[in-house]
Structures are given as structure tokens and as C-alpha cells.
Structure 1
Amino acid sequence: MNTKTTIQIRRAVITDLDAMCDLSDQINAQHHAAAPKIFVQKTNRELDRQFWHGTFENPAACALLACDGEQVLGFITMSWNENTTIPFLYRRRICRIGTIVVSDAHQKRGIGKLLMDGATNWAREHDAVEIRLEVFDFNRNAMDFYTAQGYGVQSHIMSKSLE
């Protein structure tokens, strides 16, 4: 008997907030372990809900979910913006990936690629000419994943602690 599941990518809705917060807790814990001076150890659930809720209120933003039936396996957030103020930059619509996370139990199954493909489609539907994202230097697995998806380094964000 074939028990193969089909992963569906769909737009998130308000009732998905708890599932998004659960996955956000997972990725936040991973980021806190790698960069405890940047990421808090545990976040306030209500503040998380408010943060992710903002995705639903912004007409230039979207959250997509990867689902197996009713089970949420991952999500991606993105938004677009267009330069209208900096005179030495072209006016181009850019899609920015905010967060992408796949549950630990479902990694290495192509779900991240499906989410990135969904984000690419959304960006094209909104006339974006480019997709950008930021990844922390400690997250080598993510960098390898993005490179495999065709992303390359465009700039570097550098920091210096003053503490």
C-alpha cells in the first residue's frame, strides 16, 4: 500500500497563527542557541501572535504554509517593496523573504523548496523583479539551501558589538 502524502502550499489565514507560532518557537530556539546575544531564549506567545498577525494586515505581504492535510509542516513569509525615495537606486519592486521554517521532523523532504517556489510565484504575481533574503552567517545549512535554490551573495551586512 502506498502511503505517500501530498504536501500542499496554501496561503496562511488567521486561524493558522498558533501553528506559525509553534514553528517560530522552533526556529527561534535554534537561532538563540547559535546567537544568544541577538535572539531571546523564549518569546511571549501573544507578542508572537501580534507579530505574525501583521502579515495578514499588510496588503504587500503574505505567509504561505506547507501542509499535509491539516498538519502545518512549515511556513514562509514575504513582502514586496519598491524604492521611491533613494535617487541613486532604480525603482524596482523587490520581494523580501522574512522567515522560512520547516518543522524539524519534516526537514530534507523538499518542503523548503516548495515554500521557496511558492514565494517565487507570489513575487512574480506582484510584479517583483528580484527576491532577497537575509541569513545569519552561523546558519550554514540555510546558506547551502539558498545557494541550491539559485541565490547568491549580493551584499554583506556587517556588525560590531559595542557591549
Structure 2
Amino acid sequence: MEYALRVCQKRDFMYLKEIYLECVELHQKNGYFLKKLPDAPEIFLQYVEELMESADALVLVAAGDKGVMGYCISKVGEKPPVYADVRYGLIDNLAVAEEYQRKGVGEQLFQESVNWFKEKGLSRIELEVAVFNPKSVNFWKKMGFKTFMNLMEWEM
């Protein structure tokens, strides 16, 4: 399986939409469903397009002969000015189509994002991961991440 990492282009959007929908379906199947708008896939692509224009964001894709296998959205995040490290790296979203998972695609996308964060002078990376998705939790632990805070919700 050969593929290359590159910056996302608009021609990749149909693949990003497919992978996005696959992730939504996985979340629904596992009983975790953040309410989404009916046109969420199109809004997601608009969001990606906006990020592609930003100097503080990087949208990478892993692309091969059959199209895009996965993507990683990385951004520069900012904390309130009371913290010593105000700016940090934020992995907004990393997703790999199921048929290409466990083949190193996600790890390479992540490593390329790490390089980009280093070029930006950042020394810390944060992300959110769904606790109901052990495959994803284990992936991030393998990449060296550890839990430092729990995100909690309460529906009224």
C-alpha cells in the first residue's frame, strides 16, 4: 500500500466527507451521539476549507491510488493568558478510513503534524478522544498521550 502525505486540496473533499460520515456512523453505533445538524457534512467541509486558508492550521491527507485514506486537522490553540504556555498544538481531528486503519497511516499523519507544531515553536499538544472508542484511545496512548483532564457533560 503506497501513499503520500500532502496538504489537503479541494479535490479531496469527497473523500473527507466519506471518512467523516464513517466516523459519525461509528459514534452512533457505539451509542455516543453528539447532535449534528442535517447538513453537518457540508458544514464540516466549509470548516476544512476555512482552515486551509489559515496560517495557524494544517489539514493533511494521506493519499494513494484509490484516493484519500485519512486526514489530520491540526491547529494552534490558545489558552487564557494566565498560563505559562499560552499557545499549544491542537489535534482537532484525525481519522483514517476503516480499511486503512492499523497500517501506519494515522501515525504518519500525526508525526507530520508534530513536525508542523515544532516549526510553529510549540512544545505541547492536546486533543479530545471519545472514551467509548477504545481503538482511538489506544492509538493516542501508543502515540504517547496521557489523560490529564476529563471532559464531562450533563444534559438538561
- Per the normalisation by structure 2, the TM-score is 0.89
What is the CA–CA distance in structure 1 between the aligned matches of 2:44 and 2:139, rounded to whole Å?
Answer: 26
Residues 26, 42 of structure 1: alpha-carbon distance in 2 compared, 3 angstrom cutoff: farther
Letter of the structure 2 residue corresponding to residue 74 of structure 1: G
| Map of 2:77 onto structure 1 | 81
Instruction: State whether structure 2 residue 92 is matched by structure 1 residue 101.
Output: no
Q: Kindly indicate whether the alpha-carbon contact (under 8 Å) linking 1:92 and 1:129 is maintained by their aligned counterparts in 2.
A: no
Matched, 1:69 2:65: yes
Aligned to 1:138: 132
Task: Quote the residue 1:129 is aligned against.
Answer: 123
1:157 has 2:155 as partner: no
Q: Does 1:21 find its partner at 2:24?
A: no
Distance between the aligned counterparts of 2:42 and 2:143, measured in 1?
A: 34
Percent of aligned positions with the same letter in both sequences?
A: 20
Q: Deviations over 1:111-155 (max 9, x none)?
A: 111111111111111111111100111111111111111111111
SS, match of residue 93 in structure 2 = strand
Specify every segment of 5 or more residues in structure 2 that has no aligned partner in the other structure, as ranges. none
Question: Runs of 4+ in structure 1 displaced over 2 angstroms?
Answer: 32-37, 39-49
In 1, distance between residues paired with 2:86 and 2:100?
36
Query: What's the CA shift for 1:80?
Result: 0.5
Mapped partners of 2:134, 2:92: distance in 1: 18
- In 1, distance between residues paired with 2:117 and 2:67? 25
- What residue identity is the alignment partner of 2:154? K
Where does the alignment leave 5 or more consecutive residues of structure 1 unmatched? none
2:48 is aligned with 1:52: yes
Q: What is the CA distance between 1:160 and its match in structure 2?
A: 1.6
The corresponding residue for 2:107 is 113
8 Å contact 2:32–2:132 — kept in the other structure? Answer: no
**RMSD of aligned alpha carbons:** 2.0
